[in-house]
Structure 1
Amino acid sequence: MATGLHGRMSATQNAAVSVRGLTRRFGDRAVIDRLDLDIAPGEFVALIGASGCGKSTLLRILADLDHEIEGEVEVPVKRAVAFQAPRLMPWKKVWRNVVLGLPGLPDRRRAEAALAEVGLSHRANVWPKVLSGGEAQRASLARALVREPDLLLLDEPFGALDALTRIKAQELVGELWQRHNCAILLVTHDVEEALLLADRVLMMKDGVIAHEVRVDRPRPRAVEDAYLAELRARLLGWLGVGHGAMEDAA
């Protein structure tokens, strides 16, 4: 029997996210197939997997953007999403974009406080079209943070950024997570990004969580760390890339 998210928006005491037997079908194909998942309050989880494995579909379900499901899903009422495309309204100034959708009259002070957190105070009163890609993504993060979420869902938010801007954005997300202590689910194709940011990296395959690794390293982390390099090789092997894939096959 299908159970939508409406009326199931409270998290359990011990988990920010609790998913049991989740299935999402598109026609005859089950993109998500009886998936189970728990994310603890304040935990940073990264989700990787091949294109089409269901990562973004799972995130959309947790964000209450997809209701055609079977199974049980419990998430916090206070949650926010940032996508790869910043999705700023071009006819509204940046600060108005940040508080867009919040109840009551637009609160500029609240918007500017969120923009200050992401280093964008000086762009509060400009139009989105004049922002760089990195600035637009920071504005998107401010829009998510202004909601003070218990769960922050990030769908490849750095995918369209150049390498240097991407590194800075990754560092910013790590700092914001430690400051706000909310649970985060980051969907990414970048294995190094997952290892640098997350407490736990999950790999989706065939509609379920097929593998996971815990990243027992203090922050900030360096990609040159031998421990992270070992985890990277293991994850790439599970993804069918490089020497790790040949070792798994053997």
Structure 2
Amino acid sequence: MATDVHGPVSPMVTQAVHVEGLSRSFDGRAVIDDLRLGIAPGEFVALLGRSGCGKSTLLRILAGLDRDIKGTALVPRRRAVAFQPTPLMPWKKVWRNVLLGLPGKPERGLAQRALDEVGLGHRVDAWPKTLSGGEVQRVSLARALVREPDLLLLDEPFGALDALTRIKAQRLVGELWQRRGCAVLLVTHDVEEALVLADRVLVMDGGRIAHEQRIDLDRPREITDPRFAALRAGLLARLGVDTAAEAA
């Protein structure tokens, strides 16, 4: 039986993420079943699927938060995760929330630089209760960035944001990814979001990767592009959405 491995990727593996024969069960029900997945260094991958298909479970495993598995999961030691909703400690100022969980005694300047990068440097001394939803999400991204991750894991990071703030947050994540060059795995229910951001979109079903779609569109991507619309229709069909009925 293969074992769960969390740590540096082996020199023999030219992937940021290498998953082989991964299974995870809850009360005898397989949520993830013999799953295989590879993510290249610097690649942006989006993961779609119906609710309950195992997307968030997979992300938690890759984050090292769930080790009760069968199979192999090779991931970089330097990885960071941003969840939705974002848990901030209300009794700590923003900069202290950014540094939360880092070893040793990291300096305030480290948080300042990360907050500057996400456009929130002016809120370094703010209390969490004074932040908007979009600002809270940017704090979460800053908290991930200070860890200098080789792998960034995003679990529905924009789900609670209004439409305009969500577009701005998506654009920010795209810019940070291009600047940082780390691998990204984004779990989302939003097909358009996946198409705007990802190099490759995966559809999860039955505890496995059921479909893979490479997105060979120039950036920035326009949702009015006929090719974008065709990709969107194809992925929605994979998710069981009848786009003809949707249009009607």
Query: Which TM-score applies when normalising by structure 1?
Result: 0.95
2:183 aligned residue = 183
Partner secondary structure for residue 167 of structure 2: helix
Residue type of the alignment partner of 2:126: V
1:125 aligned residue = 125
Regions of 4+ moved over 6 Å: none
Residue type of the alignment partner of 2:191: V
Counting only pairs closer than 5 Å after superposition, residues 1-250 of structure 1 correspond to structure 2 as: 1=1, 3-5=3-5, 8-12=6-10, 13-243=13-243
Alignment partners' CA distance in 2, 1:209 and 1:22: 11
1:7-64 CA deviation, whole Å, 9 max, x = no partner? x311244100000000000012100000000000000000000000000000000000
1:197-222 CA deviation, whole Å, 9 max, x = no partner? 00000000000000010000121111
Partner secondary structure for residue 59 of structure 2: helix
Change (3 A) 1:75 1:88: same
CA RMSD of aligned residues (A): 1.4
Ranges in structure 2 where 5+ consecutive residues have no aligned partner = none
Alignment partners' CA distance in 1, 2:216 and 2:4: 35
Partner secondary structure for residue 23 of structure 1: strand
Contact map agreement 1:203 1:212 (CA 8 A) in 2: yes
1:180-238 CA deviation, whole Å, 9 max, x = no partner? 00000000000000000000000000000000100001211111111111010000001
Alignment partners' CA distance in 1, 2:244 and 2:124: 47
Alignment partners' CA distance in 1, 2:3 and 2:29: 19
Q: Displacement, 1:242?
A: 1.4
Alignment partners' CA distance in 2, 1:63 and 1:137: 18
Contact map agreement 1:85 1:157 (CA 8 A) in 2: yes
Partner secondary structure for residue 95 of structure 2: helix
- State the identity %: 70
1:248 aligned residue = none
1:69-112 CA deviation, whole Å, 9 max, x = no partner? 00011000000000011111111100011011112213110100
Q: Displacement, 1:118?
A: 0.3
Alignment partners' CA distance in 1, 2:2 and 2:57: 16
Alignment partners' CA distance in 1, 2:121 and 2:86: 17
Residue type of the alignment partner of 1:75: V
Residue type of the alignment partner of 1:9: G
Ranges in structure 1 where 5+ consecutive residues have no aligned partner = 246-250
Alignment partners' CA distance in 2, 1:50 and 1:146: 32
Alignment partners' CA distance in 2, 1:240 and 1:169: 27
Query: Which TM-score applies when normalising by structure 2?
Result: 0.96
Alignment partners' CA distance in 2, 1:120 and 1:3: 42
Residue type of the alignment partner of 1:196: V
Partner secondary structure for residue 212 of structure 2: strand
* Aligned length in residues: 244
Residue type of the alignment partner of 1:224: T
Partner secondary structure for residue 203 of structure 1: strand
Residue type of the alignment partner of 1:128: P
Alignment partners' CA distance in 2, 1:118 and 1:227: 31
Q: Displacement, 1:244?
A: 7.2
